Amino acid sequence: MLHKLLAASDRHAFDPLVISLGSDGPIGARTAALGVRVRALGMSRRFPSPAATLRLAWWLRRERIELVQTWMYHADLVGGLAARLAGIPVVWGIRQSDLDPLMYSARTVWVQKVCARLSRVIPERIVSCSEAGRRMHEAIGYDASRMVHIPNGFELERFAPSEEHRRAVRAELGLAPDTPLVGLVARFDPAKDHETFLRAAAIVVASLPQVHVVLAGLGVDDGNRELTGLCRDLNISASVHLLGRRADVERVTAALDVACSSSRTEGFANTVGEGMACGVPCVVTDCGDSATIVGDAGVVVPPRDRTALATGIISVLRRPTGERAALGAAARSRVQCLFDIRAVARRYGELHASVLDRDA
């Protein structure tokens, strides 16, 4: 999302610089390709180092940075402290709507609690990408008066309906052109609940044997013994394709007949908006802002309920072709109206300008 925002931002108004606490990684290289300066600090993933925070503050002041926008909990803490030490206004960013201690590290939970205490003194504003996230953070002590909701945005030129992608992806998988495809695009993480999705997929395949299932994302490949073992136990290995991390996620998404989000917890699910932008009907669990994103252009079911998820998928697949197409068109229209990345970038720009004007 940060990369997309930078690509759509007004470079005449702002000259952005991205600072990674750790390494720059693949997103850093893509960001640098936009002509954006990228700096990696190489900090340890352990608790934030006071010395490193002081060095960052010195560097921000030396470079005459005028505004710092941090992106997630650890950056909020380290970047927020450094910016304040340097006398620079800071806007925090929060990306989650829930932080189940059973699914996240004790370190991350600790950082979140510290940020809640500091939210009244460090940030000028706190941007939440989801309304669910805003409510949750206010409930645990974040300063409600500083909270702002700006949703994620989507690249409507990149994520778009494509008959070519439908044919090409099926050919890549060795499937007939009319094979129904149900997909989940998500990294392998407990929050994404791949187990419930695959158990729902088993119900779908038992009811509609012609259906094939596609999973893509970091760690979602044939080397994942947990997923391959579950597919084997459910007797759906022949119908499931584990594609791993893909650089062409827009092709995979546009090829689907149904796009799913089976998450137990979410903030603002990018894959849901991407599926809708591709004109693909979505079946999502009711967590984070997913129900708000799909509105009446998709199906919403309870989390951790394989039967409800399977029923939702089957209900979409059994609709007449014209009805499915109309549902997909309504989904894309909703993204165009509410979540165009260019409109979202303008909202960030307006927020940053207002903070700088007030500071001046």
Predicted confidence (pLDDT) per residue in 222-240, tens digit: 999 999 999 999 999 999 9
Check residue 220 and give its pLDDT. Answer: 98
Query: Is pLDDT at 169 greater than 60 in this prediction?
Result: yes
How far apart are alpha carbons 279 and 298 in whole angstroms?
11
Check residue 209 and give its pLDDT. Answer: 98
In this prediction, residue 356 has a pLDDT band, given cuts at 50, 70 and 90, of: very high
Check residue 106 and give its pLDDT. Answer: 80
Condensed to tens digits (0 to 9), the pLDDT of residues 59-97 reads: 999 999 999 999 999 999 999 999 999 999 999 999 887
- Give mean pLDDT, residues 266-291: 95
For all residues of the chain together, what is the average pLDDT?
94
How far apart are alpha carbons 138 and 148 in whole angstroms?
11
In this prediction, residue 48 has a pLDDT band, given cuts at 50, 70 and 90, of: low
End-to-end CA distance of the chain: 29
How far apart are alpha carbons 152 and 343 in whole angstroms?
10
In this prediction, residue 103 has a pLDDT band, given cuts at 50, 70 and 90, of: low
- Give mean pLDDT, residues 158-175: 98
> Is the distance from CB of 56 to CB of 41 less than 8 angstroms?
yes
What single-letter amino acid sits at 21?
A: L
Of 222, 187, 180, give the one whose Cα is nearest residue 204: 180
In order, the DSSP letters of 119-149 are: TTTS-SEEEESSHHHHHHHHHTT--GGGEEE
How far apart are alpha carbons 132 and 142 in whole angstroms?
13
- Give mean pLDDT, residues 6-20: 93
In this prediction, residue 108 has a pLDDT band, given cuts at 50, 70 and 90, of: confident
Check residue 273 and give its pLDDT. Answer: 97
Check residue 109 and give its pLDDT. Answer: 85
- Give mean pLDDT, residues 256-272: 94
Which has more confidence, 170 or 11? Answer: 170
- Give mean pLDDT, residues 309-319: 98
Condensed to tens digits (0 to 9), the pLDDT of residues 281-291 reads: 999 999 999 99
Of 6, 288, 37, give the one whose Cα is nearest residue 153: 6
- Give mean pLDDT, residues 106-115: 88
How far apart are alpha carbons 282 and 259 in whole angstroms?
5
- β-sheet bridge partners, residue 2: none
**Strand bridging mode 125-128 / 68-69:** unpaired
> Is the distance from CB of 98 to CB of 265 less than 8 angstroms?
yes
Check residue 359 and give its pLDDT. Answer: 59
Q: How many CB atoms lie within 10 A of CB 356?
A: 14
Check residue 358 and give its pLDDT. Answer: 73
In this prediction, residue 101 has a pLDDT band, given cuts at 50, 70 and 90, of: low
Least confident of 99-108, 117-126, 264-273: 99-108
Query: Is pLDDT at 6 greater than 90 in this prediction?
Result: yes
Check residue 105 and give its pLDDT. Answer: 76
Rounded percentage of the chain residues whose pLDDT exceeds 70:
97
Query: Is pLDDT at 360 greater than 60 in this prediction?
Result: no
Q: How many CB atoms lie within 10 A of CB 224?
A: 17
Query: Is pLDDT at 104 greater than 70 in this prediction?
Result: no
In this prediction, residue 22 has a pLDDT band, given cuts at 50, 70 and 90, of: confident
Least confident of 48-52, 97-101, 178-182, 253-257: 97-101
Check residue 202 and give its pLDDT. Answer: 98
Q: Where are the alpha helices (DSSP H) in the chain?
A: 2-8, 25-32, 50-62, 73-85, 106-118, 131-139, 163-172, 194-207, 225-234, 249-254, 270-277, 290-294, 306-317, 321-338, 341-359
- Per DSSP, the three-state class of 101 is coil
Query: Is pLDDT at 167 greater than 70 in this prediction?
Result: yes
For the chain, which domains are there? 2-153+341-359 (3.40.50.2000), 163-338 (3.40.50.2000)
